[in-house]
Amino acid sequence: MAHFLIVEARFYDHLNDLLLEGARAAIKAAGHTHETLTVPGALEIPAAIAMASETQRFDGYVAIGVIIRGETYHFEVVSNESARAIMALTLDGLPIGNGILTVENEAQALTRARKDEKDKGGDAARAAITMLEISEKLAG
């Protein structure tokens, strides 16, 4: 049984609740456990994962959040930099599922977050589980 950390940027409560529902269900269905940590925004997710990895308490990580395009360049900065930093952590060997939604509007976010539709929270958790399994297999 593996223990996962879900790191969520809780900016849109109702959307995060949907993503968390999917992630938690996927982890439970796979027979694993989890904890949840809330950070201020998507840019803080990779830092929290990096800090948590130093504790060696977790086997894998799930990044959850929603970034909705606004009227400024901020959307691109947050979307690109959070994804870049998560990718850097995965290249360092951390099993991470990226469930940070980058969408144009709330309707797109709802479709992607709902467990009975695209279930991106569940997809992120399943990706983290798969990457952990690959890591363990390669380690022998």
Could you tell me which residues are annotated as the binding site for (2S)-2-hydroxy-3-oxobutyl phosphate? 71-72, 112
Question: Which residues lie across from 100 on neighbouring strands?
Answer: 65
Numbered residues of the known binding site for 5-amino-6-(D-ribitylamino)uracil: 11, 42-44, 66-68, 98
Active site residues per annotation: 74
